[in-house]
A = this chain, B = another copy of it.
Amino acid sequence: MNTRRPTILDVARAAGVSKSTVSLVVRGSPTVKEDTAKQVREAMAATGYVYNRAAANLRKSSVGLIGLVINDLRNPFFTEFATSVQMALSAQGYATVISNSDEDGALQAQMVSSMIEHGVSAFIISPAYGQEAETFDQIARAGIPCLQVLRQVDPRGDLFPFATFDFARGGLLATQHLIEQGARNIAFVGGLEDRAVTTERMSGYLEALIGTGVQPTSFHGRATRAFGAEIAEKISRETPEIDAAVCFNDQVALGLLSGFARLGRRVGEDFRIVGFDDIEECNQVWPRLSSVDCDIAQFGRDAAAALLDWVETGQRPPALRRAPVSLAARETSLGIDPEGTSS
């Protein structure tokens, strides 16, 4: 089973040319005559040659590999993001290594270290909390470009450029919309307290509430469906006067939605919900979930482009970029239009 793999040299012998020529053919250089190239290609097929990237990388400086580290791959928001980044990078001839830290800082540090050893040219990282220093110092020491997205946790804060969404404005839009829809008692649900990702969204929420007489309330916790469902119950039991919620993300909102469905409270009529991220599923539940639309696919493409610019031309992206957001209002906040059920 383990006969030695043919190398560029075996191909060269078979084709009756030098190894340099084979190398040129492999890389599609235009300087080799078409006749020769064809012979070489035939020899490659005949010998069953496979390109050895490790050997090539040893000589070259760049590897064409980008590391993508995600903190929660079970959240569709991140899957959509990862998919979009991978597509954009592969269109430019880069391979993507996706890794899921699953909110485990130690695991993340270990994955980053392994990727550095494998010679990735750059990182896009939506970091987990914990072991920040270990994760980012490694990258900085190795001098590898790195784009931090969605969460800024690098210990010095200014080590790597950061791309995110305008979460504050999202919170503002969502809350204003709920007020316009007649909600009088709006809660903010989900997200761990004191994390920037949470406080930013909340700042918009709080701003919208100023002068309206509405009292802010918030329920903090992990951004999961389970937490959303739990809060639906808690609200029904303890603070039934709350009639609307701005959620940390769509996961929480969907949890809230099914929690209320279970309790028989009619979302869209008795209770209004706006989620955050606008994942595909928002359109696939009923009532459809209103959400702060983040155009995650575009965000992914932009991130990939900015990173490649950095890698290839040395053009470091701006330290901070906030992508705009908009509001996608659907049944959970507008109510259910008896006419409109056919679209």
Contacts and interface: CB of A to CB of B under 8 A. Distances in A.
Interface in A37-84: 48, 50-55, 57-58, 61, 63, 65, 73-74, 76, 79-80, 82-83
A74 B63 contact: no
A210 to B, nearest CB: 35
A269 B229 CA distance: 22
A241 to B, nearest CB: 22
A142 to B, nearest CB: 5
Contacts of A80: 74
Nearest to A2: B143
A61 B263 CA distance: 60
- Please tell me how many copies of the chain the complex holds: 2
Interface stretch (A93-101, A187-195, A212-220): A93-101
B86 A82 contact: no
Contacts of A280: 74
Contacts of A86: 99-100
B226 A284 contact: yes
A225 B79 contact: no
A9 interface: no
Interface stretch (A14-22, A114-122, A199-207): A114-122
